[in-house]
């Protein structure tokens, strides 16, 4: 663990700050954002940098945000603990990385067969999600805000064709979180491999299959060079949310207008990052098709039905493990039951109609 002394804390009493007197006189505040994103993977680390830059620009430099990639300050996935302890002011991550603290966190990132990006935003802001997230965060020392989305992901890269649910049996498949637990119940062998090592593991045969994000990020890792089958849809991550988690004391030290500014900018970056993932995934999917080497396949309906059944079980179990998780899972389930009919009538029916030509 590598710490630095440039930790902010104006009004928080957490740590000394090293700002020069002129900066202090102008009310300039330096804030440290740590992330769980490697700097060389497109989309996620960029999203953190752009969020920091947007807050800085919109405050005319009053709030300065220094953004660090995964591992620069603390080990990956220790970001929430580090922020809660005041080692940094805020993190940019996906909350399913904190599932071991409470499965409640997972519901604010991605749930198998759960909510799409825009449904997730609607749940958090209009379905009671934010209040439950605030209660969860309060117990873990952070204030959490939606600040980005990868959109719908892909099901993953496979070295061989998957003709049926039986094809998952014994498959060495990299998939973290609740999606991984679903695969375990399909008799797959779930393997943990860091993003940067997936390509080598598929090439050596240590892995038979792996999900990552979508064409843009996956091709940056070279996954299209080591596996020929690319399956969709990404049932396990239908719209993964990125989170800005701010040390609770730091959050409370902000003036109400700065809290509001951060919330508004974060919501804007949610829309922006989702747009960036979608626009770039479209470009890279087209490149993949024109290269002609990859079989882009839809999981068949029988397999999807089994994945759906297993997912319901896994999600229900995750939502029964502690008090926060129970309340969060129930709210998420009720909201999904409500929004689903509308999404089917609106977005789904439109996308299917547009495909009729």
Show contacts with a copy of itself in window 29-58 (CB under 8 A): 54, 57-58
Query: Is position 211 an interface residue for a copy of itself (rule: CB under 8 A)?
Result: no
Query: Is position 313 an interface residue for a copy of itself (rule: CB under 8 A)?
Result: no
Q: What is the dihedral of CA 339, 340, 346, 347, to 10 degrees?
A: 110
- Check: CB of residue 60 under 8 Å from CB of residue 92: no
> Smaller CB distance to a copy of itself: residue 127 or 195?
127
Query: Is position 334 an interface residue for a copy of itself (rule: CB under 8 A)?
Result: no
Among 43, 52, 86, 127, binds a copy of itself (CB under 8 A): 127
- Residues in 147-206 that interact with a copy of itself by CB under 8 A: 151-154
Query: Is position 12 an interface residue for a copy of itself (rule: CB under 8 A)?
Result: no
> Smaller CB distance to a copy of itself: residue 101 or 297?
297
> Smaller CB distance to a copy of itself: residue 246 or 261?
261
Give the gyration radius of the chain's Cα atoms: 21
Query: Is position 272 an interface residue for a copy of itself (rule: CB under 8 A)?
Result: yes
Q: From CA 31, how far away is CA 65, in angstroms rounded?
A: 5
> Smaller CB distance to a copy of itself: residue 73 or 285?
285
Q: Among 4-12, 35-43, 145-153, 182-190, which window interacts with a copy of itself (CB under 8 A)?
A: 145-153
Query: What's the min distance (Å) between Cβ of 154 and a copy of itself?
Result: 8
Query: What's the min distance (Å) between Cβ of 77 and a copy of itself?
Result: 26
Among 13, 20, 292, 357, binds a copy of itself (CB under 8 A): 357
Query: What's the min distance (Å) between Cβ of 57 and a copy of itself?
Result: 4
Query: Is position 316 an interface residue for a copy of itself (rule: CB under 8 A)?
Result: no
Q: Among 21-29, 164-172, 253-261, 317-325, which window interacts with a copy of itself (CB under 8 A)?
A: 253-261
Among 72, 194, 200, 279, binds a copy of itself (CB under 8 A): 279
Using alpha carbons, select from 239, 253, 209 the residue that is nearest to residue 17.
253
Query: Is position 118 an interface residue for a copy of itself (rule: CB under 8 A)?
Result: yes
Query: Is position 263 an interface residue for a copy of itself (rule: CB under 8 A)?
Result: yes
- Residues in 74-113 that interact with a copy of itself by CB under 8 A: 113
Among 20, 25, 163, 356, binds a copy of itself (CB under 8 A): 356
Which residues share a beta bridge with 90?
A: 33, 246
Q: Among 135-143, 172-180, 313-321, 333-341, which window interacts with a copy of itself (CB under 8 A)?
A: 333-341
Query: Is position 347 an interface residue for a copy of itself (rule: CB under 8 A)?
Result: yes
């Amino acid at each position: 663990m590598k710490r630095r002394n440039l930790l902010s804390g104006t009004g928080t009493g957490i740590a000394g700050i090293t700002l020069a007197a002129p900066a202090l006189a102008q009310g300039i505040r330096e804030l440290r954002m740590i992330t769980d994103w490697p700097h060389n993977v497109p989309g996620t680390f960029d999203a953190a940098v752009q969020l920091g830059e947007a807050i800085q620009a919109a405050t005319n430099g009053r709030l300065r945000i220094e953004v660090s990639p995964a591992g620069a300050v603390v080990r990956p996935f220790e970001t929430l603990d580090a922020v809660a302890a005041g080692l940094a002011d805020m993190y940019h991550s996906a909350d399913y990385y904190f599932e071991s603290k409470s499965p409640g966190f997972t519901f604010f990132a991605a749930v198998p067969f759960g909510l799409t990006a825009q449904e997730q935003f609607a749940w958090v802001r209009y379905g009671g999600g934010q209040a439950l997230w605030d209660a969860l965060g309060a117990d873990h020392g952070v204030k959490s805000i939606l600040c980005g989305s990868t959109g719908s992901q892909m099901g993953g890269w496979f070295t061989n064709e998957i003709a049926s649910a039986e094809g998952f049996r014994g498959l060495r498949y990299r998939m973290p979180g609740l999606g991984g637990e679903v695969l375990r119940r399909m008799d797959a062998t779930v393997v943990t491999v860091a993003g940067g090592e997936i390509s080598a593991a598929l090439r050596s045969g240590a892995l038979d299959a792996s999900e990552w994000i979508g064409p843009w990020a996956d091709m940056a890792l070279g996954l299209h060079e080591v596996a020929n089958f690319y399956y969709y849809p990404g049932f396990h991550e239908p719209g993964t949310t990125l989170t800005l988690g701010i040390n609770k004391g730091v959050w409370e030290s902000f003036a109400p207008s700065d809290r509001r500014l951060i919330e508004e900018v974060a919501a804007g970056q949610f829309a922006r990052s989702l747009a960036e993932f979608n626009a770039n995934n479209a470009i890279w999917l087209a490149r993949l098709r024109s290269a002609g080497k990859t079989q882009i396949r839809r999981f068949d309906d029988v397999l999807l039905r089994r994945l759906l059944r297993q997912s319901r079980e896994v999600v229900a179990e995750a939502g029964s493990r502690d008090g926060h998780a129970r309340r969060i899972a129930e709210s998420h389930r009720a909201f999904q039951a409500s929004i689903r009919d509308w999404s089917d009538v609106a977005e789904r029916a439109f996308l299917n109609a547009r495909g009729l030509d």
